[in-house]
Amino acid sequence: MTPTTPDSADPNPSELGIRFRSSVGGYVTGVRFYKSSGNTGTHTGTLWSANGQQLATGTFTNETGSGWQTLTFASAVPILANTTYVASYFTPTGHYSADWLVFYYRDVAANPLTAESNSPTDGSKKNGVYTSGSHAFPTSTNQGTNYYVDPVFSDSGPPSVTAETPAPGATGVSTSVAPSATFSEAVSSSSIVFTVKDGSGAAVAGSVSYNSSTQTATFTPSAALASGTTFTASVSASDTSGNAMPSPVTWSFTTAGPVSCPCSLFASGAVPANVDSGDPSAVNLGVKFVPSVSGYVTGVRFYKATTNTGTHTGTLWSASGTQLATGTFTNETASGWQTLQFASPVAVTAGTTYVASYYAPNGHYSYDGSFFASTYTNGPLTAPSGANGVYLYGSAGFPNQTANSTNYWVDLIFTAAG
Protein backbone atom coordinates (compact mmCIF):
# COMPACT_ATOMS: atom_id res chain seq x y z
CA MET A 1 0.00 0.00 0.00
CA THR A 2 1.26 3.48 -0.90
CA PRO A 3 0.13 6.62 0.94
CA THR A 4 -1.84 9.26 -0.98
CA THR A 5 0.38 11.79 0.80
CA PRO A 6 3.84 10.24 1.19
CA ASP A 7 5.30 13.49 2.62
CA SER A 8 3.27 15.63 5.01
CA ALA A 9 5.90 18.41 4.69
CA ASP A 10 5.78 18.82 8.50
CA PRO A 11 9.48 19.21 9.54
CA ASN A 12 8.90 18.66 13.28
CA PRO A 13 10.26 15.60 15.13
CA SER A 14 7.31 13.31 15.81
CA GLU A 15 6.31 9.94 17.24
CA LEU A 16 3.64 8.44 14.99
CA GLY A 17 1.62 5.35 15.69
CA ILE A 18 -1.36 3.08 15.20
CA ARG A 19 -3.65 1.41 17.73
CA PHE A 20 -4.41 -2.20 16.84
CA ARG A 21 -5.66 -5.50 18.21
CA SER A 22 -5.50 -9.12 17.05
CA SER A 23 -8.35 -11.62 17.05
CA VAL A 24 -5.84 -14.33 18.02
CA GLY A 25 -2.90 -14.43 20.38
CA GLY A 26 0.52 -14.33 18.80
CA TYR A 27 3.72 -12.32 18.56
CA VAL A 28 4.72 -8.90 17.34
CA THR A 29 8.14 -9.40 15.78
CA GLY A 30 8.74 -5.80 14.68
CA VAL A 31 7.42 -2.49 13.33
CA ARG A 32 7.41 -0.98 9.84
CA PHE A 33 6.59 2.46 8.40
CA TYR A 34 6.31 4.17 5.03
CA LYS A 35 9.15 6.61 4.41
CA SER A 36 9.29 9.66 2.16
CA SER A 37 12.63 10.76 0.74
CA GLY A 38 12.48 13.81 3.04
CA ASN A 39 12.00 11.68 6.16
CA THR A 40 15.70 11.42 7.01
CA GLY A 41 17.72 10.70 10.16
CA THR A 42 17.75 7.76 12.55
CA HIS A 43 14.34 6.19 13.14
CA THR A 44 13.29 4.06 16.11
CA GLY A 45 10.32 1.71 16.34
CA THR A 46 8.40 0.80 19.48
CA LEU A 47 5.59 -1.47 20.66
CA TRP A 48 3.48 -0.18 23.57
CA SER A 49 0.64 -1.44 25.69
CA ALA A 50 -2.60 0.57 25.45
CA ASN A 51 -1.68 2.50 28.61
CA GLY A 52 1.81 3.42 27.43
CA GLN A 53 4.07 0.69 28.80
CA GLN A 54 7.00 0.18 26.42
CA LEU A 55 7.14 -3.51 25.44
CA ALA A 56 9.93 -3.45 22.85
CA THR A 57 11.96 -0.94 20.90
CA GLY A 58 14.80 -0.82 18.39
CA THR A 59 16.53 1.20 15.70
CA PHE A 60 15.82 0.83 11.98
CA THR A 61 18.90 -0.11 9.98
CA ASN A 62 19.70 -0.59 6.30
CA GLU A 63 16.92 1.79 5.29
CA THR A 64 16.20 2.56 1.65
CA GLY A 65 15.70 6.09 0.36
CA SER A 66 11.92 5.75 0.49
CA GLY A 67 9.13 3.18 0.77
CA TRP A 68 8.36 0.66 3.50
CA GLN A 69 11.08 0.21 6.17
CA THR A 70 11.09 -2.72 8.62
CA LEU A 71 12.56 -3.17 12.09
CA THR A 72 12.77 -6.67 13.61
CA PHE A 73 12.89 -6.65 17.42
CA ALA A 74 15.68 -8.55 19.16
CA SER A 75 12.97 -10.76 20.69
CA ALA A 76 9.40 -11.29 19.57
CA VAL A 77 6.77 -9.88 21.96
CA PRO A 78 3.78 -12.11 22.84
CA ILE A 79 0.42 -10.33 22.65
CA LEU A 80 -3.05 -11.34 23.84
CA ALA A 81 -6.10 -11.74 21.64
CA ASN A 82 -8.62 -8.87 21.54
CA THR A 83 -6.29 -6.56 23.45
CA THR A 84 -5.26 -3.11 22.25
CA TYR A 85 -1.60 -2.25 21.59
CA VAL A 86 0.20 0.64 19.89
CA ALA A 87 2.92 0.36 17.27
CA SER A 88 4.87 3.56 16.58
CA TYR A 89 8.03 5.03 15.09
CA PHE A 90 9.97 8.23 15.79
CA THR A 91 11.18 10.54 13.04
CA PRO A 92 13.68 13.25 14.07
CA THR A 93 13.06 15.28 10.89
CA GLY A 94 9.33 14.91 10.28
CA HIS A 95 8.14 14.61 6.67
CA TYR A 96 6.09 11.59 7.68
CA SER A 97 3.36 10.12 5.50
CA ALA A 98 -0.22 11.08 6.40
CA ASP A 99 -3.67 10.41 4.95
CA TRP A 100 -6.61 12.04 6.75
CA LEU A 101 -9.87 10.36 7.76
CA VAL A 102 -8.68 6.80 7.18
CA PHE A 103 -9.67 5.76 10.71
CA TYR A 104 -12.56 8.25 11.04
CA TYR A 105 -15.56 6.31 12.37
CA ARG A 106 -14.46 3.01 10.83
CA ASP A 107 -12.16 0.13 11.69
CA VAL A 108 -9.57 -1.00 9.18
CA ALA A 109 -9.06 -4.76 9.26
CA ALA A 110 -6.65 -7.26 7.72
CA ASN A 111 -7.35 -10.57 9.43
CA PRO A 112 -6.39 -11.19 12.21
CA LEU A 113 -5.41 -7.53 12.85
CA THR A 114 -7.77 -4.59 13.26
CA ALA A 115 -6.90 -0.89 13.48
CA GLU A 116 -9.57 0.69 15.66
CA SER A 117 -11.71 3.57 14.43
CA ASN A 118 -11.40 7.12 15.72
CA SER A 119 -14.55 8.29 17.47
CA PRO A 120 -14.59 12.00 18.46
CA THR A 121 -17.46 11.26 20.88
CA ASP A 122 -15.60 8.46 22.66
CA GLY A 123 -12.26 9.49 24.12
CA SER A 124 -11.21 5.84 24.59
CA LYS A 125 -11.46 5.24 20.83
CA LYS A 126 -8.88 7.18 18.87
CA ASN A 127 -6.49 6.12 16.16
CA GLY A 128 -3.79 7.58 14.08
CA VAL A 129 -1.88 8.69 17.18
CA TYR A 130 1.10 11.01 17.53
CA THR A 131 3.27 13.03 19.89
CA SER A 132 5.17 16.05 18.58
CA GLY A 133 8.72 16.97 19.53
CA SER A 134 10.02 13.81 21.24
CA HIS A 135 10.16 10.03 21.32
CA ALA A 136 7.30 9.28 23.69
CA PHE A 137 4.06 7.30 23.88
CA PRO A 138 1.78 8.82 21.19
CA THR A 139 -1.63 9.90 22.55
CA SER A 140 -2.85 12.79 20.35
CA THR A 141 -5.09 12.31 17.29
CA ASN A 142 -6.15 14.38 14.32
CA GLN A 143 -9.27 13.29 12.41
CA GLY A 144 -8.37 9.62 12.20
CA THR A 145 -5.16 10.22 10.19
CA ASN A 146 -3.24 7.18 9.01
CA TYR A 147 0.50 7.77 9.50
CA TYR A 148 1.36 4.48 7.80
CA VAL A 149 2.83 2.70 10.80
CA ASP A 150 2.31 -1.05 10.99
CA PRO A 151 3.04 -3.93 13.42
CA VAL A 152 4.69 -7.07 12.05
CA PHE A 153 2.59 -9.92 13.48
CA SER A 154 2.95 -13.70 13.56
CA ASP A 155 0.71 -16.25 15.21
CA SER A 156 3.82 -18.27 16.11
CA GLY A 157 6.74 -15.85 16.30
CA PRO A 158 10.15 -16.52 14.77
CA PRO A 159 11.58 -20.02 15.14
CA SER A 160 14.06 -20.91 17.84
CA VAL A 161 16.49 -23.80 18.19
CA THR A 162 15.33 -26.33 20.79
CA ALA A 163 18.16 -28.87 20.53
CA GLU A 164 21.72 -29.00 19.19
CA THR A 165 23.79 -32.08 18.33
CA PRO A 166 26.50 -32.50 19.48
CA ALA A 167 25.48 -30.81 22.71
CA PRO A 168 27.09 -27.41 23.34
CA GLY A 169 30.48 -27.90 24.95
CA ALA A 170 30.60 -31.64 24.17
CA THR A 171 34.04 -33.23 24.07
CA GLY A 172 35.31 -36.54 22.69
CA VAL A 173 32.89 -36.19 19.76
CA SER A 174 33.29 -38.64 16.89
CA THR A 175 35.06 -37.20 13.85
CA SER A 176 32.23 -38.62 11.72
CA VAL A 177 29.60 -36.47 13.44
CA ALA A 178 27.00 -34.61 11.36
CA PRO A 179 25.95 -31.61 13.50
CA SER A 180 22.22 -30.92 13.62
CA ALA A 181 19.77 -28.39 15.03
CA THR A 182 16.08 -28.91 15.80
CA PHE A 183 13.70 -25.94 15.44
CA SER A 184 10.65 -25.03 17.51
CA GLU A 185 8.47 -24.96 14.38
CA ALA A 186 8.61 -25.75 10.69
CA VAL A 187 11.10 -23.61 8.78
CA SER A 188 11.65 -22.88 5.13
CA SER A 189 14.43 -25.17 3.91
CA SER A 190 15.68 -22.49 1.50
CA SER A 191 16.18 -20.06 4.41
CA ILE A 192 18.48 -22.31 6.46
CA VAL A 193 22.03 -21.06 6.87
CA PHE A 194 24.16 -23.72 8.59
CA THR A 195 27.94 -23.44 8.90
CA VAL A 196 30.65 -25.31 10.76
CA LYS A 197 34.09 -23.74 11.27
CA ASP A 198 37.30 -25.05 12.78
CA GLY A 199 39.39 -23.34 15.45
CA SER A 200 41.05 -21.04 12.91
CA GLY A 201 37.70 -19.90 11.54
CA ALA A 202 37.98 -21.87 8.31
CA ALA A 203 34.65 -23.15 7.01
CA VAL A 204 34.15 -26.92 6.82
CA ALA A 205 32.93 -28.12 3.42
CA GLY A 206 29.63 -29.97 3.54
CA SER A 207 25.96 -30.07 2.65
CA VAL A 208 22.80 -29.09 4.54
CA SER A 209 19.60 -31.14 4.63
CA TYR A 210 16.25 -30.55 6.34
CA ASN A 211 13.85 -33.14 7.76
CA SER A 212 10.41 -31.49 7.84
CA SER A 213 8.87 -34.25 9.98
CA THR A 214 11.33 -33.63 12.82
CA GLN A 215 12.02 -29.95 11.99
CA THR A 216 15.73 -30.75 12.07
CA ALA A 217 18.52 -29.32 9.90
CA THR A 218 21.68 -31.41 9.52
CA PHE A 219 25.12 -30.38 8.30
CA THR A 220 26.95 -33.32 6.77
CA PRO A 221 30.71 -32.68 6.32
CA SER A 222 32.24 -33.73 3.02
CA ALA A 223 34.95 -35.59 4.96
CA ALA A 224 35.60 -36.66 8.54
CA LEU A 225 36.37 -33.77 10.86
CA ALA A 226 39.87 -33.27 12.19
CA SER A 227 40.53 -35.05 15.49
CA GLY A 228 41.22 -33.18 18.72
CA THR A 229 39.77 -29.94 17.29
CA THR A 230 37.17 -27.48 18.55
CA PHE A 231 34.52 -26.65 15.98
CA THR A 232 31.85 -23.93 16.03
CA ALA A 233 28.45 -24.55 14.45
CA SER A 234 26.04 -21.75 13.57
CA VAL A 235 22.47 -22.01 12.28
CA SER A 236 19.65 -19.62 11.42
CA ALA A 237 16.36 -19.89 9.52
CA SER A 238 12.96 -18.34 8.87
CA ASP A 239 9.64 -20.05 9.48
CA THR A 240 7.22 -20.74 6.64
CA SER A 241 5.55 -17.36 7.25
CA GLY A 242 8.84 -15.56 6.68
CA ASN A 243 9.60 -14.76 10.33
CA ALA A 244 13.38 -14.80 10.66
CA MET A 245 15.38 -15.71 13.74
CA PRO A 246 16.77 -12.40 15.10
CA SER A 247 20.28 -13.88 15.22
CA PRO A 248 21.98 -17.25 14.55
CA VAL A 249 22.34 -19.85 17.28
CA THR A 250 26.00 -20.76 17.75
CA TRP A 251 27.62 -23.53 19.77
CA SER A 252 30.95 -25.35 19.97
CA PHE A 253 32.09 -28.94 20.41
CA THR A 254 35.43 -30.74 20.39
CA THR A 255 36.25 -33.91 18.49
CA ALA A 256 38.07 -36.81 20.08
CA GLY A 257 41.85 -36.76 19.91
CA PRO A 258 43.87 -39.11 17.73
CA VAL A 259 43.05 -42.71 18.62
CA SER A 260 45.75 -45.17 19.63
CA CYS A 261 44.92 -48.84 19.98
CA PRO A 262 43.92 -50.94 21.83
CA CYS A 263 40.77 -48.88 21.16
CA SER A 264 36.98 -48.99 21.15
CA LEU A 265 34.08 -47.32 19.38
CA PHE A 266 33.13 -45.23 22.40
CA ALA A 267 35.24 -43.18 24.78
CA SER A 268 35.86 -44.64 28.22
CA GLY A 269 33.92 -41.75 29.77
CA ALA A 270 30.92 -41.91 27.40
CA VAL A 271 27.56 -42.14 29.19
CA PRO A 272 24.21 -43.11 27.57
CA ALA A 273 21.37 -40.60 27.52
CA ASN A 274 19.11 -43.38 28.83
CA VAL A 275 21.07 -45.51 31.27
CA ASP A 276 18.09 -47.78 32.11
CA SER A 277 15.47 -48.69 29.50
CA GLY A 278 13.16 -50.03 32.19
CA ASP A 279 12.57 -53.12 30.01
CA PRO A 280 12.94 -56.25 32.26
CA SER A 281 12.99 -58.76 29.37
CA ALA A 282 15.96 -61.04 28.70
CA VAL A 283 17.67 -59.78 25.55
CA ASN A 284 20.90 -60.01 23.55
CA LEU A 285 22.08 -56.58 22.39
CA GLY A 286 24.74 -55.73 19.86
CA VAL A 287 26.46 -53.35 17.47
CA LYS A 288 27.64 -53.85 13.90
CA PHE A 289 31.15 -52.55 13.24
CA VAL A 290 33.72 -52.45 10.43
CA PRO A 291 37.48 -52.06 11.07
CA SER A 292 39.35 -49.93 8.51
CA VAL A 293 42.51 -51.97 9.10
CA SER A 294 43.00 -55.64 9.84
CA GLY A 295 43.65 -56.55 13.46
CA TYR A 296 42.29 -58.39 16.47
CA VAL A 297 39.22 -58.14 18.67
CA THR A 298 40.31 -59.00 22.18
CA GLY A 299 37.03 -58.48 24.02
CA VAL A 300 33.58 -56.93 24.41
CA ARG A 301 32.29 -54.27 26.77
CA PHE A 302 28.89 -52.74 27.61
CA TYR A 303 27.42 -49.95 29.73
CA LYS A 304 25.51 -51.23 32.77
CA ALA A 305 22.65 -49.77 34.79
CA THR A 306 22.43 -50.73 38.48
CA THR A 307 19.26 -52.67 37.64
CA ASN A 308 20.93 -54.63 34.80
CA THR A 309 21.67 -57.61 37.05
CA GLY A 310 22.49 -61.28 36.56
CA THR A 311 25.26 -63.06 34.68
CA HIS A 312 26.24 -61.35 31.44
CA THR A 313 27.95 -62.98 28.49
CA GLY A 314 29.73 -61.29 25.58
CA THR A 315 30.14 -62.57 22.03
CA LEU A 316 31.81 -61.68 18.73
CA TRP A 317 29.94 -62.77 15.57
CA SER A 318 30.48 -62.67 11.83
CA ALA A 319 27.93 -60.62 9.87
CA SER A 320 26.08 -63.83 8.97
CA GLY A 321 25.82 -65.03 12.58
CA THR A 322 28.80 -67.36 13.03
CA GLN A 323 30.02 -67.23 16.62
CA LEU A 324 33.71 -66.29 16.64
CA ALA A 325 34.31 -65.96 20.40
CA THR A 326 32.34 -65.76 23.63
CA GLY A 327 32.88 -65.46 27.37
CA THR A 328 31.36 -64.46 30.71
CA PHE A 329 31.81 -61.07 32.35
CA THR A 330 33.42 -61.30 35.79
CA ASN A 331 34.28 -58.84 38.55
CA GLU A 332 31.55 -56.48 37.38
CA THR A 333 30.91 -53.16 39.12
CA ALA A 334 27.42 -52.09 40.08
CA SER A 335 27.15 -49.77 37.09
CA GLY A 336 29.16 -48.18 34.29
CA TRP A 337 31.34 -49.81 31.65
CA GLN A 338 32.00 -53.55 32.08
CA THR A 339 34.73 -55.39 30.13
CA LEU A 340 35.21 -59.01 29.03
CA GLN A 341 38.59 -60.16 27.66
CA PHE A 342 38.31 -63.21 25.39
CA ALA A 343 40.53 -66.21 26.16
CA SER A 344 42.22 -65.64 22.75
CA PRO A 345 42.20 -62.64 20.38
CA VAL A 346 40.10 -63.03 17.22
CA ALA A 347 41.60 -61.93 13.89
CA VAL A 348 39.33 -59.56 11.92
CA THR A 349 39.73 -58.27 8.36
CA ALA A 350 39.69 -54.65 7.18
CA GLY A 351 36.44 -53.62 5.46
CA THR A 352 34.47 -56.59 6.85
CA THR A 353 31.35 -56.28 9.03
CA TYR A 354 31.21 -57.98 12.44
CA VAL A 355 28.82 -57.87 15.40
CA ALA A 356 29.76 -57.48 19.09
CA SER A 357 27.00 -58.32 21.58
CA TYR A 358 26.21 -59.01 25.20
CA TYR A 359 23.36 -60.89 26.87
CA ALA A 360 21.31 -59.20 29.63
CA PRO A 361 19.18 -61.88 31.37
CA ASN A 362 17.21 -59.30 33.34
CA GLY A 363 17.00 -56.50 30.78
CA HIS A 364 17.31 -52.89 31.96
CA TYR A 365 19.84 -52.19 29.19
CA SER A 366 21.04 -48.70 28.23
CA TYR A 367 20.03 -47.07 24.94
CA ASP A 368 20.05 -43.95 22.76
CA GLY A 369 17.43 -43.85 20.01
CA SER A 370 18.44 -42.78 16.45
CA PHE A 371 22.12 -42.79 17.44
CA PHE A 372 23.07 -44.68 14.28
CA ALA A 373 20.90 -42.60 11.96
CA SER A 374 24.30 -41.45 10.68
CA THR A 375 27.53 -43.41 10.48
CA TYR A 376 29.67 -43.27 13.62
CA THR A 377 33.47 -43.51 13.36
CA ASN A 378 36.21 -43.49 15.98
CA GLY A 379 39.74 -44.10 14.77
CA PRO A 380 39.90 -47.38 12.80
CA LEU A 381 36.40 -48.48 13.87
CA THR A 382 33.13 -47.57 12.16
CA ALA A 383 29.56 -48.39 13.18
CA PRO A 384 27.51 -48.16 9.94
CA SER A 385 24.31 -46.12 9.86
CA GLY A 386 20.81 -47.48 9.31
CA ALA A 387 20.13 -51.06 10.40
CA ASN A 388 22.49 -50.91 13.35
CA GLY A 389 21.94 -51.37 17.00
CA VAL A 390 20.79 -55.00 16.89
CA TYR A 391 18.96 -57.20 19.38
CA LEU A 392 17.31 -60.58 19.95
CA TYR A 393 14.82 -61.15 22.76
CA GLY A 394 14.80 -64.30 24.86
CA SER A 395 18.26 -65.80 24.38
CA ALA A 396 21.95 -65.18 23.84
CA GLY A 397 21.60 -66.04 20.15
CA PHE A 398 22.70 -63.93 17.18
CA PRO A 399 21.04 -60.46 17.40
CA ASN A 400 19.62 -59.55 13.98
CA GLN A 401 16.65 -57.28 14.69
CA THR A 402 16.79 -53.47 14.71
CA ALA A 403 14.61 -50.57 15.86
CA ASN A 404 15.10 -46.87 15.19
CA SER A 405 18.91 -47.14 14.69
CA THR A 406 19.25 -47.45 18.48
CA ASN A 407 22.61 -47.59 20.22
CA TYR A 408 22.49 -50.17 23.03
CA TRP A 409 25.97 -49.16 24.20
CA VAL A 410 27.75 -52.38 23.31
CA ASP A 411 31.39 -52.03 22.31
CA LEU A 412 34.51 -54.00 21.44
CA ILE A 413 38.22 -53.84 22.17
CA PHE A 414 40.34 -53.71 19.02
CA THR A 415 44.07 -53.91 18.31
CA ALA A 416 45.55 -53.27 14.86
CA ALA A 417 47.68 -55.99 13.34
CA GLY A 418 51.48 -55.63 13.43
- The pLDDT assigned to 124 comes to 56
- The pLDDT assigned to 120 comes to 55
Same domain, 343 and 219: no
- The pLDDT assigned to 42 comes to 97
CATH assignment at residue 198? 2.60.40.1220
Residue 308 lies in a domain: yes
- The pLDDT assigned to 104 comes to 78
Domain boundary among 103, 130, 154: 154
Domain boundary among 154, 183, 200: 154
| Count: domains in the chain | 3
In this structure, are residues 337 and 303 in contact, taking their beta carbons and an 8 Å threshold? yes
Look up the domain containing 308 and give its range: 283-416
- Collapsing DSSP states into helix, strand and coil, what is residue 190? helix
- The pLDDT assigned to 247 comes to 92
Same domain, 145 and 165: no
Residue 370 lies in a domain: yes
- Across the chain, mean pLDDT equals 93
- Helix, strand, coil abundance in the chain, percent, nearest 5: 0, 45, 50
CATH assignment at residue 141? 2.60.120.820
58 burial level (CB within 10 Å; 0-12, 13-18, 19+): middle
- The pLDDT assigned to 260 comes to 78
Same domain, 178 and 298: no
Same domain, 324 and 250: no
Domain boundary among 114, 134, 154: 154
Same domain, 222 and 144: no
Same domain, 359 and 377: yes
Same domain, 386 and 312: yes
Same domain, 120 and 48: yes
Q: How far, in Å, CA of 172 to CA of 180, rounded? A: 17
Same domain, 223 and 288: no
Strand pairing report for 323-328 and 283-291: unpaired
C-alpha distances (whole Å) from 76 to each of 113, 160, 244 are 17, 11, 10
pLDDT means over runs of 10, the chain (418 residues): 93 96 90 97 97 97 96 92 96 95 78 80 73 94 93 84 93 88 92 96 96 94 90 93 87 85 91 96 98 95 98 98 98 97 96 98 97 90 94 95 97 89
- The answer to pTM > 0.75 is no
- The pLDDT assigned to 154 comes to 82
Residue 277 lies in a domain: no
Same domain, 132 and 206: no
- The pLDDT assigned to 68 comes to 97
Same domain, 300 and 380: yes
Residue 2 lies in a domain: no
